[in-house]
Structure 1
């Protein structure tokens, strides 16, 4: 094996072999930290010696055998190539072993005469063998050599000047030579080499990687390898092995091989090193002084200092930390759960006494059991750490701290507060996680042990999960609390009631209280309430903007910021709503709060739908359900699910829309505002897929709820125009016209999205000559509102009107713009009205009402692919009669071929 970076050292050792061949013995001690190549260098030397005709004898010292008399000596002289008389002498030496069994590492202790005589004879055997063939005698890890073998080595060293023997030792000292007498004897030898191996430089790491890979590594890969390994050659090779299994050759994988290799290095050394490494892994840089480290590891401070130096020299440490979490995990895995808990408990106590930051101290408390002696300072410290983590956007860590605080106890009042905080933190991660805490908090509420702020929180969580009866009791209790006299709490109660009234109106009727313009939470809730009750309102929009500027995203502002953005969206300020929502979504992602990111993604998806951006709306809605799974959304699942259904329907992807509709939803959803979105989107799906009666049921139910709840405004959902389209699909033009005109009146006279949609539907209920003015006004409104999908549909209708009026230039211009907008929006067919009733043929619905019953029956069957002869057979008429009916119907509908007939208008024919 070619040694990378050790060519000079190997050359020096080979020179000893040459000197030995000339008749003079020599010695070397190769020192250095763990994993730095001592054993490999020794192996290379043995290969060189064997190639030059040397007799090679070798042994390895080990910590468990360091007090076993003669263990290294027997390894050296028991091999098949050892001098023939050595085995008999070793057998004689065994009888002296019992006397040496109690020996220590002190080489000054005298040996008995018989043992000394045997050692001398063994030396003579080696020297006599060297007269026939030169001898290389190697001991790896000489620091673990037993004292009897060391005595023999000292005897041999005194004979090296006149013997063809090379003694090669490797040593991994801590901070001083392990055996001073051995080193003193070696220093007196004329042919002695002392070599010290260190860690690799960045260039050395690159060279080692290139040697093992056969090609020069990526510079970033080499740099990362050097950073993680500290330049330790053994660990560099382990990283290379781990990374071979990775998909990206430029990415360093720190895996099991790295951890196992590091652990094997520590196990090969003194047990104190492993104990120190475990202490450092547990502390992870929290303590930097030897004395507390000694207390935690159970070692003397001096031993800790030496151990840290040894670990540093091996490249394993970065300051007082192991270089990588995998290294820390590897050294701690050998501890039992009880041992690890005890280690972290003691570490927590040391950190607390040393004034370490609460978040760092809490990390140890989170990892220790609580069935031992209580720590009176633990709960307050964990609570402080949780608050600091929340301020630092580390919600998962805060959640873990609060869980630990509950385990450590506290009085009853403190536990209620902790559980409320834990429920709140769980909520931000995933609302389902908070569910187990709600029951206990509800009991505390009934007993009067829950604070006002926590009662507000509990009410919102209960409503989310559809537990309306409990939520009603929580809301009612807020009026009876003395704490409501506090201005801040009173403002929060007022704002919360307003928010709940427009979100769950079946539980809490809209209060329509006097607005508090000095408080941004109340301002945002009231802005949304006014828009839903009165339609787009300049003052409400201004209040929403002002509230957004006054608040920053945080635990106590997130829902109010959503209120303000929703008010802008329903108030036809789509561009402004989109900008604010984009900013808040990015901030929620940066703060790593899954629920916030999911809710803002869903809200932004709704805005994108109103802008006609189907692709983005769908992606955002899917992101929302990825951040928080569908079964954790509670009754609010109607929001993201409605966005997915509507976006798929508008994009003509009915297969995906059907899958979304098939997803189960909680019954409580239809008692919330989110149920309205779902009903309307599902109605659009039914309408587009040829089920106008089912669609009409959904639209009608949506409208009834909106009327009952007091926010029957088309700016929220244009249910009347959608129901009108369902009536048109059923050829009930009169009912369709009545609903369309009613919605147009509600939309008001100003420019708005709702008015543009209403005008489109009104146009579809008029005779061809009466549509043009309505559609031109619809285009103006929709262009102003920013809904490109609705604008594309209105332009398409208008273009067909221009075509019918023989105004080709204008028709061409608007139809080209319509086609371009459709493509930009991501729809796969001509743009429909929301929940369009007949893709590509909006102007023909009124014509269906002009067909006679016989004509309608013939057209229905023809639209579903029946031939004239089949139609005649089904209707029991002649083929000639069928042809006559079709001719008249084609003229009334303005079509020339069967392919132009709208199949979705005739669901009754599909069953024939």
Structure 2
């Protein structure tokens, strides 16, 4: 057997063996850390003495340490049965001196025939009775051909120091201390391996990771052999997860004693804060016991000072303990550090790591406040997921139900960033407590605020009413909820500015330009974008919603991203970009954690249903509608939107009674919440359409008149759709005038689908009163605009049977393309072509990169050259002329 870096140790053993063979009893104590080669050295002694002496071997084990005379009987097992001495019965009590003298006499006589080498491994596990016999032998046997070689691990908790002391003070004893291998020794081990010797550059890594522990070095080499092909080039050495190195570390831990194993566990959780004193307090042991454990681990090359030599060793230690055991240690460390460093951030780290511990939180009453403060610091650093984990643990640590409500509402707000469904579900747990009457006014207000921000306006309004009742009853006005600027009550978080307020759009943009997306600004920014969406410049809302969605994506906040992407989809739908609305609504659903359920998920779903319905994809719309709705949907602001989408689907598929029911229910909910705003959801004109299909003209007329009488009728979109629907309730000769007004209003609103619908109805109205030329122009313009938007059912409704043909190429009664082409400049053609398609002046300016004033000037020249006086008289052929000229 080849031993590396053990020349001096072998020389001591050879000398002792030679002296023993000459008749002078010798004892040798070999001490070394686990894995450093004690057993290999004993085997080398036995091998060298095998031809000259009888070798008796015994090995102490933890199980046999509890068996009286177990080690001594192992030694005698190597002697024939008829030659063994008679050992006393262990049940008779402590051995008598005469019994031990008889054993020594027998051993002396046995060695007279042939020299004897007694080899004892893991002496620290020897049973007490056997140790008494060995101590007697060391004291009394001087001149016999006997060599006693014993190996032990120092600092082992079960070692009997009296025997080591006896060995060391005896003049016949020798002491061998095995140390870890030097770098040269590690290099020799590597050179001795024919497969890996070419990787000589590994020596430094091998020594640094293993500390020179031969067992760990061999394990690392075997991991290399398994991981690298024969042709692999030298590279940085990384121990395999769960490989032989990890098993070797575990072996060293177990052979170093219980104290060392516990100290190793303590150091995994203490990290850089590990000291003998801290680990002793953490484990409930003496400082000296902790110091012994540290010394054993340092000697084994696992620790370097008060830290692990390599992360792989720490990982191997962690693998040896269950997650529950680790959690309990983290909780103890948190308590320990809080007593000495109450404001240390390390305390909260250990609290979070102790989530699975079964230690009562009553032992750490300070944990709740510390975890809540830590969560706020994490949020300030834009780390919402760790903050949510801290708040969850703060909730568990808290025994005060009222404080738990505060934690829950805050956690729900944080969860909204990345999981709206869980945020909604969590907040539902607060409602029972809120209804129990045990919460203070401010706490009720906090719950109502978060409910309202999440769109659960019915529940928010209910709590708001309770607060108002309590304030009226007690006269304590401090209980009343604070109102947002420009809002009436909490449910007004989902309202939009009055249509007559021309400064609302400017104010909204100012908020968007000056605010950063955070938990506290989220709903203000959302409200500002919604205000823009329902202002005279809805295209600005598309820009801001997209910008905020992109910001949320960069911040890894899928909940926020879904919120603004849904709003972007709604704006695109309002502008008539059906394909864009479909894409954005689908994207909003895609970023939500699966399954994309909850009341909020109904918002992008409603946009998808409406877009599918308008593009004629009725099967896709039905598939979405057939999925189960969330239980809280119709207590949520998203409920009316879902009802309207379903109603429009029913209307498009000739299910008029079902459609009417959905529209009326949507209106009932909005009126109940004081959010009945036609600019947000025009349920009256929707219901009027259903009534008209059912032949109920008078009822339809009443609903339309109410919508026209509302303040929102000053908004061009509301007025436009109201006038268009109103035209269906008046005599035919009155319809062109109303529809002309509707077209003008809808052109200003930016809604190209509604504009196309109004143009189509205007064409039919003009045809009915005998204005065929204008009727033809309006019809073709309506079809063209609907075709651009992808509204196939509307194309078919406008000109049945011709949805697949490009009508701009058909022969018409207006001037030929060449005539138009000869009159207009190329710039005027481009502007007029876009105007003919229904684009607003602002949209044309954005598309052509010119000012709105330039657009107006070009259109004025176009009107003069073509001898027309208004926009709707522009020939649709201009689109073809523009395409041919480009």
Measured against the shorter chain, the TM-score band is 0.5 to 0.7
> Kindly tell me: are residues 21 and 274 of structure 1, through their superposed partners in 2, closer, same or farther at Cα, counting changes over 3 Å?
closer
2:606·2:642 contact (CA, 8 Å) conserved in 1?
yes
> Kindly tell me: are residues 23 and 298 of structure 1, through their superposed partners in 2, closer, same or farther at Cα, counting changes over 3 Å?
closer
Residue 348, structure 1, aligned to residue 335, structure 2:
yes
Q: 1:542 aligns with which of 506, 513, 526?
A: 506
Correspondence for 2:539: 572
Residue 98, structure 1, aligned to residue 98, structure 2:
no
Q: 2:492 aligns with which of 493, 501, 506?
A: 501
> Kindly tell me: are residues 115 and 183 of structure 1, through their superposed partners in 2, closer, same or farther at Cα, counting changes over 3 Å?
closer
Q: CA deviation at 1:546?
A: 2.4
Correspondence for 2:426: 433
1:140·1:169 contact (CA, 8 Å) conserved in 2?
yes
TM-score scaled by structure 2?
A: 0.61
Q: 1:582 aligns with which of 529, 536, 550?
A: 550
Work out the CA distance in 1 between the residues paired with 2:167 and 2:75. Answer: 20
Q: SS state of the match for residue 83, structure 1? A: coil
Q: How does 1:265-280 map to 2 (within 5 A)?
A: 266-280=253-267
Work out the CA distance in 1 between the residues paired with 2:528 and 2:187. Answer: 57
For 1:338-396, what per-residue CA distance to the aligned partner results, in whole angstroms no more than 9, with x for missing partners? Answer: xx879946852652343344624754886666879776655554554454455453333
Q: SS state of the match for residue 331, structure 1? A: coil
Q: CA deviation at 1:301?
A: 1.5
> Kindly tell me: are residues 306 and 349 of structure 1, through their superposed partners in 2, closer, same or farther at Cα, counting changes over 3 Å?
closer
Residue 617, structure 1, aligned to residue 623, structure 2:
no
Work out the CA distance in 2 between the residues paired with 1:619 and 1:46. Answer: 77
> Kindly tell me: are residues 585 and 204 of structure 1, through their superposed partners in 2, closer, same or farther at Cα, counting changes over 3 Å?
farther
Work out the CA distance in 1 between the residues paired with 2:324 and 2:750. Answer: 67
Residue 662, structure 1, aligned to residue 662, structure 2:
no
Correspondence for 1:62: 61
Correspondence for 2:394: 402
> Kindly tell me: are residues 49 and 563 of structure 1, through their superposed partners in 2, closer, same or farther at Cα, counting changes over 3 Å?
farther
Q: 1:196 aligns with which of 166, 170, 180?
A: 180
Correspondence for 2:103: 118
Q: SS state of the match for residue 677, structure 1? A: helix
Instruction: Determine which structure has more spread, i.e. the larger CA radius of gyration.
Output: 2
Q: How does 1:764-783 map to 2 (within 5 A)?
A: 764-765=760-761, 766=763, 770=775
Q: CA deviation at 1:752?
A: 6.3
Work out the CA distance in 2 between the residues paired with 1:776 and 1:561. Answer: 38
Q: 1:141 aligns with which of 122, 143, 147?
A: 122
Work out the CA distance in 2 between the residues paired with 1:499 and 1:363. Answer: 35
> Kindly tell me: are residues 298 and 758 of structure 1, through their superposed partners in 2, closer, same or farther at Cα, counting changes over 3 Å?
closer
For 1:71-101, what per-residue CA distance to the aligned partner results, in whole angstroms no more than 9, with x for missing partners? Answer: 33322332xxx13269722x3265698325x
Residue 359, structure 1, aligned to residue 326, structure 2:
no
Q: SS state of the match for residue 4, structure 2? A: helix
> Kindly tell me: are residues 46 and 12 of structure 1, through their superposed partners in 2, closer, same or farther at Cα, counting changes over 3 Å?
same
Work out the CA distance in 2 between the residues paired with 1:618 and 1:124. Answer: 97
1:348·1:364 contact (CA, 8 Å) conserved in 2?
no
> Kindly tell me: are residues 386 and 286 of structure 1, through their superposed partners in 2, closer, same or farther at Cα, counting changes over 3 Å?
farther
2:746·2:754 contact (CA, 8 Å) conserved in 1?
no
Q: How does 1:11-160 map to 2 (within 5 A)?
A: 33-34=33-34, 36=35, 38=37, 58-63=57-62, 65-66=64-65, 70-78=69-77, 82-84=78-80, 88-89=84-85, 91-92=86-87, 98-99=93-94, 112=97, 114-119=99-104, 121-122=106-107, 125=110, 128=113, 139-146=120-127, 148-149=130-131, 152=134
Work out the CA distance in 1 between the residues paired with 2:265 and 2:302. Answer: 12
Q: CA deviation at 1:453?
A: 4.7
Residue 464, structure 1, aligned to residue 456, structure 2:
yes
Q: CA deviation at 1:639?
A: 0.8
Correspondence for 2:151: 169
2:756·2:781 contact (CA, 8 Å) conserved in 1?
no
Structure 1 unmatched ranges of 5 or more? 101-110, 245-249, 410-414, 504-509, 511-528, 819-912
Q: SS state of the match for residue 665, structure 1? A: coil
Q: SS state of the match for residue 8, structure 1? A: coil
2:111·2:146 contact (CA, 8 Å) conserved in 1?
no
Q: 1:802 aligns with which of 808, 811, 822?
A: 808
Q: SS state of the match for residue 196, structure 1? A: coil
1:267·1:274 contact (CA, 8 Å) conserved in 2?
yes
Q: 1:755 aligns with which of 751, 754, 758?
A: 751
TM-score scaled by structure 1?
A: 0.60
> Kindly tell me: are residues 114 and 390 of structure 1, through their superposed partners in 2, closer, same or farther at Cα, counting changes over 3 Å?
same
Q: CA deviation at 1:42?
A: 6.9
> Kindly tell me: are residues 651 and 756 of structure 1, through their superposed partners in 2, closer, same or farther at Cα, counting changes over 3 Å?
closer
What's the Cα RMSD here? 6.6
Q: SS state of the match for residue 59, structure 1? A: strand
Q: 1:300 aligns with which of 286, 290, 314?
A: 286
1:141·1:169 contact (CA, 8 Å) conserved in 2?
yes
Q: SS state of the match for residue 516, structure 2? A: coil
Q: SS state of the match for residue 151, structure 2? A: strand
Work out the CA distance in 1 between the residues paired with 2:388 and 2:260. Answer: 33
Aligned residues: 725
Correspondence for 1:872: none
For 1:381-434, what per-residue CA distance to the aligned partner results, in whole angstroms no more than 9, with x for missing partners? Answer: 455445445545333333234324432x4xxxxx52442333331454322123
1:14·1:48 contact (CA, 8 Å) conserved in 2?
no
Q: 2:516 aligns with which of 512, 528, 552?
A: 552
For 1:308-349, what per-residue CA distance to the aligned partner results, in whole angstroms no more than 9, with x for missing partners? Answer: 3433555656956896678447435686x9xx8799468526
Correspondence for 2:436: 443
Q: CA deviation at 1:756?
A: 1.5
Q: CA deviation at 1:662?
A: 1.5
Greater alpha carbon shift after TM alignment, 654-663 vs 718-727: 718-727
2:30·2:38 contact (CA, 8 Å) conserved in 1?
no
1:28·1:167 contact (CA, 8 Å) conserved in 2?
yes
Work out the CA distance in 1 between the residues paired with 2:141 and 2:167. Answer: 15
Correspondence for 1:626: 593
Q: CA deviation at 1:580?
A: 1.7
> Kindly tell me: are residues 746 and 682 of structure 1, through their superposed partners in 2, closer, same or farther at Cα, counting changes over 3 Å?
same
Q: SS state of the match for residue 465, structure 2? A: helix
Q: SS state of the match for residue 626, structure 1? A: coil
Q: 1:331 aligns with which of 321, 346, 355?
A: 321
Work out the CA distance in 2 between the residues paired with 1:625 and 1:344. Answer: 34
Q: CA deviation at 1:581?
A: 1.9
Q: CA deviation at 1:583?
A: 0.3
Greater alpha carbon shift after TM alignment, 645-654 vs 138-147: 645-654
Greater alpha carbon shift after TM alignment, 150-159 vs 122-131: 150-159
1:130·1:163 contact (CA, 8 Å) conserved in 2?
yes
1:228·1:324 contact (CA, 8 Å) conserved in 2?
no
Residue 423, structure 1, aligned to residue 409, structure 2:
yes
Q: CA deviation at 1:306?
A: 2.6
2:222·2:244 contact (CA, 8 Å) conserved in 1?
yes
> Kindly tell me: are residues 755 and 642 of structure 1, through their superposed partners in 2, closer, same or farther at Cα, counting changes over 3 Å?
closer
Q: CA deviation at 1:449?
A: 4.8
Structure 2 unmatched ranges of 5 or more? 229-236, 416-421, 698-723, 730-734, 765-771, 821-828, 835-886
Work out the CA distance in 2 between the residues paired with 1:803 and 1:606. Answer: 33
Work out the CA distance in 2 between the residues paired with 1:465 and 1:553. Answer: 23
Q: CA deviation at 1:578?
A: 0.2
Work out the CA distance in 1 between the residues paired with 2:475 and 2:220. Answer: 66
Work out the CA distance in 2 between the residues paired with 1:235 and 1:675. Answer: 64
Q: SS state of the match for residue 87, structure 2? A: helix
